Amino acid sequence: MENVKEIKIKVNGEKWETALEKAYKKASSNFQIDGFRKGKAPKNVFLKKYTQERLNFDAADICLDEAYNEMFKKAKDLEIVAQPEITLSEISEAGVEYLFTLTLKPEVKLGKYKGLSVKKDKVSVSKEEIEHEIEHLRSHYTENVVKESGSVESGDIAVIDFEGFKDGVAFAGGKGENYSLEIGSNTFIPGFEDQVIGMNVGEEKDINVTFPEDYHSEDLKGAPVVFKVKVNEIKVKRIPELDADFFEDLGMEGIDSKESLEAQVKENIKTRKESDADNKYIDELLEAASKNVKVEIPNVMIEEELNRMVKQYEETLRMQGLSLEQFYQFTNSDESKLRDQMKEEATKRITYRLMLEEIAKVEKIEISDADAKKESKNMASKYNMKEEEFLNAFGGLDMMKYDMKMRKAIEVLKGE
């Protein structure tokens, strides 16, 4: 295959003898020979038990790092796109030969990538969207205040004591005190909340309900029960008015009136929509341009991309309090199925990456160290980080240069 290169590295002579001696000293100090203390058995006695073949492999492990370095020197002009595969083509008491199989960057043939018939969506913000966003903001500052008079209504919060009985006997988990129940939230058994409506503070009432057939407790599935309920307090939700107190609570600079809030909200929605529209535009450009690309992606590249994707997914699950093993249990899946589901996306990502790299090459896009340092300084300031700290987190200056190069390649697709 054109995108595979084999490099052989031999180690023999004095280097090999030194490695064998190191391997012998390490192995003999940890290997027990009957009748001798560790490390004290004669070498010929030790080798009868340990074997020369095993010692050869130990020495090969010792020489591997240096062989790797020598291989990379020979491959310095090659674009390697995956971790090299290593086999021992020869190994004996006389020396070792490593065979490094390198996967090289495949040839990428670009098709049309400029003047693509992809249009960016126009962005507008409606009055209804502004009002909806402001209502959402107001809901964050909702207070629950005591209802001074009247009975429980839908939407109220009834603070109740309750205890459930089946056939006159209290059942486990059916009791609560000063529980805040939002009427209409459907958090209790069907029919319960409807019967609380109309109750007054201090009122006690028996509420008859039937547990659903699919309830998790075997004892209560489909069972008719009675809840003894007392209303201790009734609260209503108070959504703040658009007044000076609310604007102060918001803590948004320059916002002191309904008009200034609407203007700011409109700007925020517009910025978000423009970002979404730009991301959609880029995705559609990449997809359109990639349809004109010819490239044979080595399977090892796909497997490495899948490794990264599975690891990223595992991190996402961990942030949600789940492990990958739990995810497999819940979904009756396994890593093989997950990788199969991700394979199409992995292939697409690699195709886009190879395509953009080739566009950057054809368009002679280069990023200087100075430009990369300037960009990293700007981004560090944006995230309120020290430049060195940001660069380390980002992956170093070379990664910054690569990221900037890819962004400029995308600008070519846009025609900018």
Residue 349 pLDDT greater than 60, yes or no: yes
44 with 159, same domain: the answer is no
Considering 238, 266, 281, which residue would you say is the last residue of a domain?
A: 238
Q: Note whether 365 and 278 are same-domain residues.
A: yes
- Evaluate whether residue 199 is within a structural domain: yes
Per-residue pLDDT band for 314 (boundaries 50, 70, 90) equals very high
* C-alpha torsion 364→367→369→371, nearest 10: 140
Distances (CA, A) of 217 to 72, 91, 143, 389: 64, 66, 36, 53
User: Which of the four pLDDT bands, split at 50, 70 and 90, describes residue 128?
Assistant: very high
Same domain, 282 and 404: yes
Quick check: 324 pLDDT over 70? yes
The H or E element that residue 227 is part of is strand 224-238
Count structural domains, the chain.
Answer: 3
Could you give the C-alpha distances from 116 to 61, 201, 271, 351, in angstroms and in order?
Answer: 53, 69, 25, 18
Summarize pLDDT for 353-366 with one digit per residue, the tens: 999 999 999 999 99
Residues 229, 272 within the same domain = no
Distance of CA 355 to the CA centre of its chain: 24
Beta bridge partners of 237: 144
Residues 18 and 51 in one domain: yes
The CATH number of whichever domain residue 225 belongs to comes to 3.10.50.40
Model confidence pLDDT, tens digit, residues 24-77: 999 888 887 777 777 677 888 888 888 999 999 999 999 999 999 999 999 998
263 and 234 in a common domain: no
Residues 172 and 278 occupy one common structural domain: no
Instruction: Look at residue 287 and tell me whether its pLDDT is greater than 60.
Output: yes
pLDDT level of residue 272 (50, 70, 90 thresholds): very high
Decide if pLDDT at 2 tops 70: no
Q: Is residue 43 part of a domain?
A: yes
Q: Is the confidence at residue 160, as pLDDT, over 70?
A: yes
> So what's the pLDDT on residue 227?
95
* Same domain? 45 vs 164: no
Q: Is the pLDDT of residue 247 over 90?
A: no
Domain boundary among 204, 238, 272: 238
pLDDT tens, residue by residue, 386-399: 999 999 999 999 99
Average pLDDT over the chain reads: 92
- Is 69 contained in some domain? yes
Q: Is pLDDT at 175 greater than 80 in this prediction?
A: yes
Domain end (from 72, 103, 134): 103
**Is 99 in the same domain as 187?**
no
Do 60 and 150 share a structural domain? Answer: no
Residue 194 lies in a domain: yes
Rg (CA), the chain: 35
The domain in which residue 72 lies consists of: 4-103
User: pLDDT category, 1, cuts 50, 70, 90?
Assistant: low
Q: Are residues 380 and 306 in the same domain?
A: yes
194/305 same-domain check = no
% the chain with pLDDT above 90:
75
